[in-house]
Structure 1
Amino acid sequence: MMFTTLALAAVAVFVELSAGVVIFDDSVGLERRFDGIGGLSGGGATSKLLVNYPKKQRDEILDYLFKPNFGASLQILKVEIGGDAQSTDGTEASHMHNSWEENYQRGYEWWLMLEAKKRNPNIKLYGLPWTFPGWIGDGTRSPYTNPKQTATYVLKWVLGAKKYYNLTIDYIGVWNERDYNITYIKILRKTLDDNGLSNVRIVAADGGWGIANDIQKDSVLASAIDYIGTHYPGTLTTTEAMKTGKQLWASEDYSTFNDNVGGGCWARILNQNYVNGFMTSTISWNLIASYYQALPFYRDGLMTAVEPWSGNYIVQSPVWITAHTTQFTEIGWKYLRHGAGVGKLETGGSYVGLVSPDEKDLTIVIETMTHDHSLCIRPALPPYNVTAATVEIEFKGSFAALTSLNVWYSKPSYGSEADVFFMKRNKLSIVNGKASLKVNPDEIYTLTTLEVGQKGSFDTPPPPSKPFPLPYTENFEGYEVFMEPYDLAQQMGVFEVAQGDASNKVMRQKVLAQPVTWCQAESLNISLNVIGSHNWTDIYVEADVKLGEVNGTNGVFVAARVDQGGCNAFSTTGIFLYIFPKSNNYILANNLGRTSVITSGQLGEVEASWNKVSLMVKGTVAVGMLNGNSLFNHTVPSKPTSGFVGLGTDSWGIADFDNLKITSAENHLHLLRHVEKQDTKLYFVPGAH
């Protein structure tokens, strides 16, 4: 008996599993229209560092994202309609800071849309607000207080895109992941239509599926909305959403660290959003991880570009995973029916078949991603198994005459073996309408009649990585007015280049009142701009500062060791030197909200306009100066141990900054001796001689 059991076990090793018979048949009819795969720039400031890359590397990055049949070949670009407030990784500027002005030179989303269109004229453009400037709320925290005013504000953004950049916006959203308002959606639709923009379609509500219930109850609302967009659906939809008959989108998804597990997440949901949830479009948050390390959701993009000073960038696995679908389909193709070209493999994994509008071309995407290698950041993924197997494929209908299909293959590595991404393999032979394909766990296949496809590359690799350069200086003279300075990543408030006194240019904080906010950070009523490296420890920073004579802020600060930004900025710690010229005092604080005060005192002699404020932090000592005169030499907490340099204002209102200088504290140890000569208490600093 023991011998028989062992023999059977040995034999079982050689039994090849079958993934079942998979049928691709268009004779039974087609299913839903494919609406495209996209990436999201915004929510917020996720493309911040891309803008000032050297032109060569910047063009290469944009080619990897948008150029057809080269890299990700994205079919939709979704952007934030800036609202002057923090929306995840920074603040994006509004086209209307105030009700009495419009400006379409602010921000970098216009530039990004132009670059995407330059590479792919057929790419669709989608705009969505996260936040709104304060005047939109009419003193409230809601954009729906005056729906017509808000609709007109969004209309002007759409019209501005066309007038100033000849960009046609295809889709508009309501309010990202916040309450929708039925009256507002109806007014928005009418406002667009009344201005000749019936071509601009509304996606709602960029949150959950709940709006489906209202669509079924309200025919006017139903006619106003073209697509139901949900976020992070876990590949599942609802019965109520299906009943609406609307096209269903994962209008924001992925949001996962872009290593190979992140690539596995992306591969699985690109297929299974349709297999399980009938979702015809999936849009990645974010498009490109181009924001400082230590800001929220670092590297949750299709690729990574965080060093404009070096030109280094990394093409991550999600780029090539995307290509498996986008290089072999176009918006307007149709999915085959479930059971006739869309479904699950019996041994784990999924497949989708898509057909061109003329029904002459077929593309099939198969994924066998395992549970642990395809985890997304949200939602939780129930357990399942994937096993190596042979897939028996039958082609029926107009596909019965096929004799072969082109094969593109990827297998991310999760061990010591090398990655395989987007490799063209030998054709799959089809005999009498039948073919066999062996699949293993964690693989992606594209089978297609199309002869296109390219794993794009360039003659030279990206330059090597380098740390943020020191010393660093910025006088803002090299920018056009209204531009956002390159390396400074605004976290609250809006900082743009303005014409200062005489002929010089300055960086000006422009937000005058509390915006209609998206996250808790704005409750501080403080602006914050960060720059540099989160790893900086001993650092010196100085800047010339000036409070606005009209609509001016109460005070300004420079800071070191700023430990975080984003929506967590309300709990940001660091070493902050606030100066209040009008009341002639300063505060040295251990947090952004200056509730944790280290020391305070009088400023002494203050200039009527410009004042130079300086802060050096070395070990557990901070030295502060105003106009070259000592303010303090004081011990400071040891935490945080490192962080960015920061600039900002103590309250909403105008302040100007100029002649920013950042160097290592080692270059300024003479300040300790300078302070000692003024009979100020001197604290021992390791390394100071």
Structure 2
Amino acid sequence: MRHWGARTALFLIAALVGPVAVAGPADGAAGPAGGAAGPAAGGAATETVHIDGADAGREFDGLGAVSAGASSRLLFDYPEPERSQILDYLFKPGYGAELEMLKVEIGADTNSTSGAEPSHMREPDEVDCGRGYEWWLMREARERNPDITLGGLQWGAPHWLDGGFWSQDNIDYLLSWLDCAEQHGIAIDFMGGWNEAGYDRDWYVAWADALEEHHPEVELTAADDTPNFGWRVADDMAADQAFGDAVDIANMHSPCGWRTDYSECSSTETARSLDKPLWIGEQSALAHDAGAGPLARAANRMFIDAQITGMMVWSPISAWYANITMADTGLMVAEWPWSGFYDVGRSIWSFAHTNQFAEPGWRYLDTGSRRLDSGATQVALVSPDGGDWSTVIETLDMSEPTTVTLELANLPGKPLSLWGTDLRSDDESDWFRRLGTVRPDAQKITLHLEPGRLYSLTTADGPGKGEAAPRASVHDRLDVPFHEDFDAVEPGRAAPFFSDLAGAFEAAPCAGGRDGTCYRQVVTGQPISWGHVGELPLSTMIGDPRWWGDYAVRSDVLLEEPGHVEIGGRVSGQSWGTPASGYHARVGTDGWQLISRDHALSEEVVLAQGSEAVEVGSWHELTLSMRDQRVRVLLDGEVLAEVRDTRHRTGNAALGVSAWHNAQFDDVRVVPTGPQPQMLPRSSASATSEQGVLQGWTHEAAHAVDDRPETSWSSSLDPSNDLPQAVTVDLGEVERVQALTYQPQLDGGTGGMITDYEVQVSADGQAFETVADGRWRTSTSTKVAAWPATDARFVRLIAQAGEHQCGVRSARAAEIGVVSARGPGLTTTPDGPEQPPVPDDAPAALEHLVPQDEMTASASSEHSDPNIACMAIDGRRSTFWHSAPAATDPLPASVTLDLGRQRDVRGLAYLPRQDGNPNGVITRYEVAISDDGEQFDVVADGTWEDDAAHKYATWETADARYVRLTAVEGHFDVAAAAELQVGYARSPHDG
């Protein structure tokens, strides 16, 4: 890990013009006095900023967070005192981030990013205000900070609403949620509409009227829109008086960019002229080790650039399983409830530099809030009575040290405490450090600023840094055997460590004549989803994502109605809109199946099946047993199938139910089926290249050995850094080694997955010997390379080939392990069969396909990276091209394929996006071909079914180099394509 050092500069930050008093150490001791201040240190540039306390502008509303998408699920299960320590870092004044705003999801039992949150009202005639953990989180937040602003927002809605989301039924549903809040003693300050799903102006007017009648203290904010639509809500508020009067606060998502460095924030003149607060309804918090700098920029630049006065980030805490989509996105990380380990990181202190120095109700000073010539930014704020003021300066984009003189007017001349953070340092003692006291002289303050820092000055009391730390280590794993009989779980509540992906699982009295408490899937109808869960298995995950997969999952199961239940093992991950990966044993009223799923490949393969069935209302024991390459399914102790398969090696367990059926589980056990491999400690790792920050995550070599599957190493994506690329693991001392384990990234993508590999070992780090090589199948599964036992301190994995992304060839690894020869051996993972590019029943015109790596793609419109044209020919079902939003660039939209040379083309295969979201399915199409890419002739047109299945267009064989698919109509007036293939007639020169 890089360590930028330069701590000494932190002690030399503040000096006064006139008689010099240099800020001393944290005790605030005065520095030497005498003489006038000299030139800036080291010849640094100088700048003057005027700050006038009489120039108060917009009111500061605070920096906060959004708890949604099951982001806080595992935090609820944390042990004490760690759980309280985490909550203190988030909410306690003078301790950590001191969050001033908290927006929570109003659950609807549908997957809303990283899981499903429970609804308080699943049917129109029942309400349960105790479900879920958001009530608990809001209580804990307000207990620590009584002045925190609390709000609610929907991602989905229950199935029973008459008229859909924009209906009176939904307003009644929201009013019942506010009534629940009152029962919990929680005063809600604001409410919204539908997260990133547009808005209905008439509905907002009706919603505002209902709030005025029943909860007049609650303000209404709109519209939680995606950045693709900008501040269109402000335009509509200005044009429609009733809508404008109904909405109290205008907001949008990601006006500072999505998972970028947040260097610029935007609003519109219309938005600023509304005379209403402007908020960032959601900005990504980014990864634990990448978010601090971008968040520091956004905290200042939201006001400087856009007059935005409040920001909420998703999420406050990354507290969901490491192998579920978007893991490691939060101000903190807490995904290890069995041990209590958590990671504070730097982002907490980026927020502390603002929230601990200004309270909601303070006002920004326009004269002291600006971009400096040096590249730094500064905001100044004053208390309502003018008795205190603060300033926050971030220097992330400064290229060299600078000196800034603050000329003060109409501000109290009290001493100011100075705090600083070196955002480039990995040393925690360099974060949120009290540097001393600054005393203005003649209404002037001079500060020496270093690049990469965050500074705060305040006359107010209160800033402080929490010192709590977890007792556990990140390496502490959840023990196997694991057992849950649910008898200690309160009815209607979730069991510890069970995290719902879709549907709702909760404790309930056992059915079928069994005493005690069981675990029941309770939702009976498909909710209105933020995305589209559809007929995915309703499922819940349990366990440690790092479990080695030689274990058996067993559970007693009971169907309450015709359908099926599942138990899963070696679950390597889940992405929003897709079923969980791994092996799944399914049994129901129509028979049984053993299924393999891979969320990154959008792949589902039936490995075995049969007619043995179970009846409704009776209990049966279902077991999924895995050891090495052998996978077995047992029903009531009888073996239904035993197969040899290598698609999955590691991961946690899952339970599932067919949608939307009721079923029960009891006595869930995970037991070992063989000895676990002995993994050696890894002291460090180095790589031939590193990517650094990409889309809000860092990709250092150290991430391949940090025992955190949510992080990953990636080689540089610079085209000049082609494969091969390598990671070298240092064990710290010579050990007897026999195998290497490779876990690809688990974020739902396949770009960079290593396919062709070589393993080398060395005792001294100089002379390396090859001990293994081969090919691995593209999948999210952990892979193994084994060799005869040998002595080594250094083990090197070389990526000779891998999955490319739009022509960029790189290598990625979530974890690389080294197996000791003193424990049980492992067998090398063999290369498995690749999924065929089109189904076997495709038209004969697609018998021969143009290799995708010989094609390039361009599009008439693109949504945004990564949904660009080349994703339609990358060989991966999990990625896709998407046209621009309908509001800005409606259909038609087209993708043009350059085949590289002339061919006798005769067909096209189109696979819609496979993530469960129907938006973009092309329903009316046109295919045209061309020799030169300029003049195109239409060869096929027609309509396709609005579903996710493969679709085809064929025509008489014709010579062409270019093939263009035009989406004339599509679901939600947009187009998307996961894969495009071109069929051609082979000739002798094709080989």
The interval holding the TM-score normalised by the smaller chain is 0.7 to 0.9
Distance 1:605 1:448 in 2: 69
Structure 1: distance between partners of 2:486 and 2:357? 45
Which of 638, 662, 666 matches 1:658?
Answer: 666
Partner of 1:65: 90
Superposition deviation, residue 85 in structure 1: 0.2
- Corresponding residue to 2:329 among 289, 293, 300: 300
For 1:590, the equivalent position in structure 2 comes to 596
Q: Which residue of 1 aligns with 2:629?
A: 620
Report the equivalent of 2:544: 533
How far residue 39 of structure 1 moved from its aligned partner, in angstroms, is 1.5
3-state secondary structure, aligned to 1:507: strand
From 206, 212, 219, the equivalent of 2:234 is: 212
CA distance in 1, matches of 2:64, 2:314: 9
1:177 to 2:196 alignment? yes
Letter aligned with residue 144 of structure 2: R
> Residue 24 of structure 1 aligns with which residue?
51
CA offset digits 1:102-133 (Å, max 9, x no partner): 11111000111111111111111110010111
Residue of structure 2 equivalent to 1:386: 399
> Residue 497 of structure 2: SS of its match in structure 1?
coil
Q: Deviations over 1:158-200 (max 9, x none)?
A: 11110x21111101010011111111111111111122x1110
Equivalent residue number for residue 285 of structure 2? 255
C-alpha distance in 1 between matches for 2:399 and 2:304: 17
Distance 1:495 1:329 in 2: 42
Q: 1:564: how far off?
A: 2.1
Deviation string for 1:386-407 (max 9, x for gaps)? 33101111001x22x5153210
Q: TM-score, normalised by structure 1?
A: 0.87
Matched, 1:643 2:643: no
Deviations 1:451-507 (A, max 9, x none): 22111123x643223112211000111111111112111101111111124541111
For residues 606 and 189 of structure 1, do their structure 2 counterparts lie closer, same or farther at Cα, with a shift above 3 Å needed? closer
Q: From the CA coordinates, give the structure whose radius of gyration is larger.
A: 2
Q: Does 1:457 find its partner at 2:457?
A: no
Match in the other structure for 2:734: none
1:499-520: CA deviation from partner (whole Å, max 9, x where unpaired): 1245411111112121111124
Provide Cα deviations, 1:514-535, integer angstroms capped at 9, x if missing partner.
1111124x12342011111223
SS in 2 for 1:279: coil
Greater mean deviation of Cα atoms: 13-22 or 557-566: 13-22
Percent of residue pairs identical: 31
Q: By how many angstroms is 1:655 displaced?
A: 0.6
Q: CA deviation at 1:136?
A: 2.1
Kindly indicate whether the alpha-carbon contact (under 8 Å) linking 1:553 and 1:655 is maintained by their aligned counterparts in 2.
no
1:241 alignment partner AA = A
1:519 matched to 2:525? The reply is no
Residue 411 (structure 1) aligned with residue 422 (structure 2):
yes
Unpaired segments ≥5 residues, structure 1: 1-11, 371-384, 669-684
Change (3 A) 1:19 1:388: same
- Give the corresponding residue for 2:738: none
State how far apart, in whole Å, the 1-side matches of 2:117 and 2:147 are: 26
Tell me the equivalent position of 1:160. Answer: 180
Indicate the SS of the match to 1:276. Answer: helix
Residues 269, 560 of structure 1: CA spacing in aligned structure 2 closer, same or farther, 3 A cutoff? same
Does the 8 Å contact 1:348/1:387 carry over to 2? no
Please list every run of 5 or more consecutive structure 2 residues that lacks an aligned counterpart in the other structure.
Answer: 1-38, 257-264, 677-823, 828-991
Contact kept, 8 Å, 2:393 with 2:455, in 1: the verdict is yes
CA distance in 1, matches of 2:41, 2:604: 69
Question: Once superposed, what is the RMSD of the aligned Cα atoms?
Answer: 2.2
Partner of 1:55, secondary structure, is coil
Instruction: Quote the offset at 1:69 in angstroms.
Output: 1.1
Shift of 1:653: 1.1
Residue in structure 2 matched with residue 312 of structure 1 by the alignment: 341
The one of 380, 389, 392 aligned to 1:365: 392
Q: 2:273 aligns with which of 230, 243, 247?
A: 243
**Matching residue's letter, 2:546:** N
Summarize deviations over 1:263-299 as a string: whole Å, max 9, x none.
1111111111111111100111101111110212212
| 2:124 equivalent to 1:99 | yes
After superposition, residues 102-113 of structure 1 pair within 5 angstroms as 102-113=127-138
Distance in 1 between residues matched to 2:554 and 2:428, nearest whole Å: 48
Q: Distance in 1 between matches of 2:510 and 2:605?
A: 34
The ranges of structure 1 where at least 4 consecutive aligned residues each deviate by more than 3 angstroms after the TM superposition are 12-15, 592-595, 604-608, 685-688
Q: Deviations over 1:529-552 (max 9, x none)?
A: 11112233222100111111xxx3
The reply on whether 1:232 has 2:254 as its aligned counterpart is: yes
1:358 deviates by: 0.6
Matched residue, 2:953 = none
Q: What is the one-letter code of the residue matched to 1:56? A: P
2:318–2:331: 8 Å Cα contact kept in structure 1? Answer: yes
Q: Is the 8 A contact 1:19 1:346 kept in 2?
A: no
- Alignment deviations for residues 410-468 of structure 1 (CA, whole Å, 9 cap, x no partner): 112357x665111111212321111210111111111110122111123x643223112
Do the aligned partners of residues 19 and 245 (structure 1) sit closer, same or farther apart at CA in structure 2, a change above 3 Å counting? farther
Q: Output the CA distance in 2 between the equivalents of 1:418 and 1:87.
A: 34
Contact 1:514 1:525 survives alignment (8 Å): no
Which residue of the other structure, out of 477, 489, 504, is the alignment partner of 1:479?
489
- Structure-to-structure mapping, 1:26-45, within 5 angstroms: 26-27=53-54, 29-42=55-68, 44-45=69-70
What's 1:345 paired with?
372
Query: What code does the residue aligned with 1:294 have?
Result: N
TM alignment of 1:535-614, pairs within 5 A:
535-536=546-547, 537-548=549-560, 552=561, 554-570=563-579, 572-580=580-588, 582-583=589-590, 585-591=591-597, 595-603=604-612, 609-614=618-623
Determine helix, strand or coil for the equivalent of 1:62.
Answer: helix
Instruction: Give how far 1:20 is off.
Output: 1.7
Q: Structure 1: how far apart are the matches of 2:652 and 2:85?
A: 29
Structure-1 separation of matches of 2:562 and 2:268: 49
The alpha-carbon distance between structure 1 residues 607 and 651, as it changes in their structure 2 partners (threshold 3 A), is closer
Matched residue type, 1:250: I
Match of 2:643 among 634, 638, 647: 634
Q: 1:490 aligns with which of 500, 503, 507?
A: 500
Distance 1:19 1:296, change over 3 A: farther
State how far apart, in whole Å, the 2-side matches of 1:565 and 1:39 are: 24
The answer as to whether partners of 1:619 and 1:686 remain within 8 angstroms in 2 is no
Distance 1:651 1:667, change over 3 A: farther
How far off is 1:639 after superposition? Answer: 2.2
Q: Is residue 423 from structure 1 mapped to residue 443 from structure 2 by the alignment?
A: no
Report the more deviating stretch, 620-629 or 534-543. 534-543
Counterparts of 2:617 and 2:231, CA distance in 1: 56
- Higher mean alpha-carbon deviation, 239-248 vs 110-119, is at 239-248
Query: Taking CA–CA contacts closer than 8 Å with sequence separation of 6 or more, which of the two structures ends up with the larger relative contact order?
Result: 1
Local SS of the residue matching 2:310: strand
d(CA) in 2 for partners of 1:453, 1:604: 64
Q: 1:363-405 CA distances to partner (integer Å, 9 max, x unpaired)?
A: 10100113xxxxxxxxxxxxxx533101111001x22x51532
Shift of residue 606, structure 1, vs aligned partner:
6.2
TM-score norm. by structure 2 comes to 0.61
Paired residue type of 1:256: L
Could you say which structure has the higher helix fraction?
1
Counterparts in 2 of 1:5-16, with a 5 A limit?
A: 16=43
**Alpha carbons 1:311, 1:463 under 8 Å: kept:** yes
Q: For residues 425 and 60 of structure 1, what CA distance do their matches in structure 2 show?
A: 25
CA separation in 2, counterparts of 1:269 and 1:423?
21
